[in-house]
Amino acid sequence: MQMPLFSIVSLIFASIVGMHLADAAETAPAKTNNSNHAQVISAELLALWADPAGKFILAGGRDGALRRSTDGGDHWQQIDIKGALEIDSFAASPKGTLLAITKDQLLRSTDEGQTWAASALPAEQQIAHAIFHRASSSWIATGRSGTLLKSKNEGKTWTAIRSKGNDAPLLALAETSNGTLLAAGNKGTLLRSADGGSHWSAIPTNTQSVIARFLSLPGDTGVLSLWADGSITGVRPDGRGEWHSSTGRPEYLSAATIDTPHHQLLVANSFGQVMRSNDNGMTWKASLIAERMYISALHVDPHDGDIIAIGARANIARSHDGGASWELTTGNAWTSRLNALAVNQSGDLILAAGTGGLMLRSTDRGQSWTSLHPDLARYVGEIIAVPGTAALVVAGNDGLIARSVDGGHDWSIIKSGMPAEISIQSMIYDPHSASLLACGPMATILRSGDAGVTWQVIQSVPRAGEGFLKQLVIDPDTDALLAVGSPGLVMRSTDGGHSWTPTDAEVGSGIEQVVAAGKGIFLAARTDGQILRSTDDGTHWQTVGGIFVNTPSGTYWDAQSGTVWVMGLGTLVESKDGGATWRKASIPGTASMNFMTRTRAGKTLLAFGKNGAIMRSVDNGANWQPIRSASSSSLRKPLIDPKTGAIYVAGRDGTVLRSTDDGVHWTAIPVHTAAHLNRLALDASTHSLIATGERIVRIELP
């Protein structure tokens, strides 16, 4: 059979394993407003598929990610599909019909992947795997409830050819060289059918494990069923005469391929081992690439016989001796796991995709790799639209600093200069010095004076390793900056963050929240609920008596009314004299608020908190009214569009809410993800909203 221009050398593990597990329930989003286009920039990519004629490539994954490239991966177009679907794999028929298999529905395209529509499935059916059965000229699919489905009209409609059985679910399909169909699933279930019809018979497997994948043997010798526990069931082309063996390793078999140049089979597992067999899987030899490196795909170069393996932390390994020994081409250069691999017929162009949207390409047969899309898999704690520039800068876990100058379409990873990757806890923009400042563990301050392009590392505190900085705050009326954290560390700068000195704050259990109240006044809520006050730009501190905040969760200074608010678990306290005296405010029920803002109109205060709580006050906080938000998610820091007055707030279940009437009514913007979102930024030049957290989402505003 002629090889296609592109051939997919591995389907990622998620397309088979994990489908036998019940999906975690997700909170339904609030009422949606479909006038916005949203793209999850950092969606995890799980599958690659390339047109055999070489015209286009498809990439799919979680959070509704479905992307199409017509230039070998240089540029990608996001294809709109409804919802936050998770695309596990692609399949194609000889007539050019494409199927995208998701956990919720089956998508179908007849125009080379440019548009997609849902196929008509029987009620309550979910597809796990689909193949085009050439012998019957029809599509066959496995159902997660144990059914088998068939389509005779290019995937438009489907009928059940086998009802649910005790061996549910069925997860994988294969066709032997003589057209016999094999279906496998949980509990060692292996079925065969001579014609893909209603009659299926069981094949003994000697295992109770779940299927990992099928591997067709060279020539017409049969098919191997590879099970998650390392067991192997061999089947002849007619589906009979099975034989049994084992790799001898209990780890999940995560990748497999035929190594034609070396006349052997290759199987990789989740421990980081590659096993070789030259007797059709009866016996195996193992070699280790890297301990506990989840290997997602294997590729054998037809030109020189070199073997490439991809996997966890974007490791790419290469073997020059048929898999007996390995060297890492890239080692821990990224935090993402590579999930899928695609190679052209000549083997000189290779694409690899993974978590965080990471996309790598090699044009020299895997010798070197370049990043087409950066590794954005890490949690993003802060995002800032740098005033006076086109730059958006994000910071987060594992030392993540990334920058975009085109409204959040494309991002570049920025090196901080730290010898170790620290998780950045807070980032602010200082208008006095026109600089960005970030902080984190080891009492570390990072400073950038060029809109996030380069960073200076500052560690001027003795025993810096004992300090964990959690928050940065700036006095709007002076040039004072504070960096605070645990265990009771308060640092101060008056030169735009170039140098820092410790203060005399005695905070014991550490500071949880801090706020600048103008005119040199800073207030800090300790983790034990006590409040500290400084009236000299944070140099000296005193404990304020007579008030206790139950588990401090947020602070806010309302410059218009001169009121400072401290929020806690079911608690809201206020001070109208710069924190000298305090009183408890009356709020409905036991709402726990975390963030507060005043709307552009100036007459309204809004507070946001747990379980979708929104409180609204039109009398400077004397009285609060609960507002229906249609969300049960914990709502995070709000953002107000200075031009339109629209109010946006993100939530922990992927919610992004918008109000255009001063906070009275709220609608949800569809964002194609249920991941945590916590911060928002507006890019004025492209009129887009960027939401960050576990994902980076770009929303084009109307």
- Tens of pLDDT, residue by residue over 124-143, are 888 999 999 998 999 999 98
Burial of 588 (0-12, 13-18, 19+ CB in 10 A): exposed
DSSP letters spanning 129-181: EEEEETTTTEEEEEETTS-EEEESSTTSB-EEEE---TTPPEEEEEE-TTS-E
pLDDT of residue 344: 81
pLDDT of residue 501: 86
pLDDT of residue 13: 34
Cα–Cα distances in Å, from 649 out to 89, 249, 251, 629, 682? 34, 49, 44, 11, 12
For residue 417, name the pLDDT band (cuts at 50, 70, 90). Answer: confident
Are 457 and 438 in contact, with CB atoms under 8 Å apart?
Answer: no
pLDDT of residue 23: 30
Sheet holding 667-668, edge to edge: 635-640, 647-651, 656-659, 667-668
- Tens of pLDDT, residue by residue over 488-540, are 778 899 999 999 888 877 655 677 788 999 999 999 888 888 888 999 999 89
Other Cβ atoms less than 10 A from the Cβ of 401: the count is 22
Q: Is the predicted pLDDT of residue 188 greater than 50, yes or no? A: yes
Q: Is the predicted pLDDT of residue 35 greater than 70, yes or no? A: no
Tell me if the bond preceding 487 is cis, omega within 30° of 0. yes
- Tens of pLDDT, residue by residue over 570-629, are 889 999 999 999 999 888 877 789 999 999 989 999 999 999 999 999 999 999 999 988
Q: Is the predicted pLDDT of residue 10 greater than 80, yes or no? A: no
Are 621 and 603 in contact, with CB atoms under 8 Å apart?
Answer: no
- Region of poorest pLDDT, from 181-190, 196-205, 617-626, 646-655: 196-205
Q: Which of 71, 673, 59 is nearest to 359 (CA)?
A: 59
For residue 550, name the pLDDT band (cuts at 50, 70, 90). Answer: confident
pLDDT of residue 26: 29
Tokens 């780890």 found at: 251
Geometric angle at alpha carbon 150, from 149 and 156, rounded to 5°: 110
For residue 54, name the pLDDT band (cuts at 50, 70, 90). Answer: confident
Q: Which of 175, 131, 128, 174 is nearest to 147 (CA)?
A: 128
Q: Is the predicted pLDDT of residue 167 greater than 60, yes or no? A: no
Here the tokens at position 463 are: 């025993």
SS3 content of the chain, % helix, strand, coil (to 5): 5, 45, 55
Are 20 and 186 in contact, with CB atoms under 8 Å apart?
Answer: yes
Q: Average pLDDT in the 454-463 region?
A: 79
pLDDT of residue 31: 36
CA distance from start to end of the chain: 51
Q: Average pLDDT in the 242-252 region?
A: 92
- Region of poorest pLDDT, from 314-323, 566-575, 649-658: 566-575
Q: Is the predicted pLDDT of residue 465 greater than 50, yes or no? A: yes
How many Å is the Cα radius of gyration of the chain?
29
Q: Is the predicted pLDDT of residue 7 greater than 70, yes or no? A: no
- Tens of pLDDT, residue by residue over 96-122, are 999 999 988 999 999 999 999 999 998
For residue 15, name the pLDDT band (cuts at 50, 70, 90). Answer: very low
Tell me if the bond preceding 218 is cis, omega within 30° of 0. no
Say which residue, 196 or 205, is predicted with more confidence.
205
pLDDT of residue 6: 38
Q: Left, alpha or beta for 502 (phi > 0: left; psi -120 to 50: alpha)?
A: beta
Look up residue 634 and give its DSSP letter: P
DSSP letters spanning 475-493: -TTSS-EEEEEETS-EEEE
For residue 269, name the pLDDT band (cuts at 50, 70, 90). Answer: very high
Q: Average pLDDT in the 442-461 region?
A: 90
Q: Left, alpha or beta for 559 (phi > 0: left; psi -120 to 50: alpha)?
A: alpha
Q: Is the predicted pLDDT of residue 33 greater than 70, yes or no? A: no
Q: Average pLDDT in the 645-669 region?
A: 95
For residue 463, name the pLDDT band (cuts at 50, 70, 90). Answer: low
Distance CA(111)–CA(485), nearest Å, equals: 56
Q: Average pLDDT in the 692-698 region?
A: 96
pLDDT of residue 477: 87
Q: Is the predicted pLDDT of residue 331 greater than 80, yes or no? A: no
- Region of poorest pLDDT, from 58-67, 144-153, 470-479, 486-495: 486-495
Q: Is the predicted pLDDT of residue 144 greater than 90, yes or no? A: no
Distance CA(15)–CA(61), nearest Å, equals: 10
Three-state DSSP at 454 gives coil
Mean pLDDT of the chain: 88
Q: Average pLDDT in the 673-694 region?
A: 95
Three-state DSSP at 355 gives helix
Other Cβ atoms less than 10 A from the Cβ of 535: the count is 17
Alpha helices in 500-578 (DSSP H): none
Distance CA(24)–CA(6), nearest Å, equals: 35
Q: Average pLDDT in the 34-55 region?
A: 86
Q: Is the predicted pLDDT of residue 53 greater than 60, yes or no? A: yes
Q: Largest Cα–Cα distance of the chain, in whole Å?
A: 87
Are 585 and 573 in contact, with CB atoms under 8 Å apart?
Answer: yes
Burial of 464 (0-12, 13-18, 19+ CB in 10 A): middle
Are 546 and 530 in contact, with CB atoms under 8 Å apart?
Answer: no
Geometric angle at alpha carbon 465, from 464 and 466, rounded to 5°: 90
- Region of poorest pLDDT, from 63-67, 166-170, 611-615: 166-170
Q: Is the predicted pLDDT of residue 12 greater than 70, yes or no? A: no
- Beta-strand relationship, 170-175 and 181-185: antiparallel
Tokens 């740098």 found at: 386
Tokens 């909170």 found at: 27
Distance CA(523)–CA(512), nearest Å, equals: 11
Distance CA(469)–CA(437), nearest Å, equals: 12
Distance CA(50)–CA(7), nearest Å, equals: 7
Tokens 């590729």 found at: 299
Say which residue, 146 or 341, is predicted with more confidence.
341
pLDDT of residue 345: 75
Say what percent of the chain tops pLDDT 90. Answer: 65
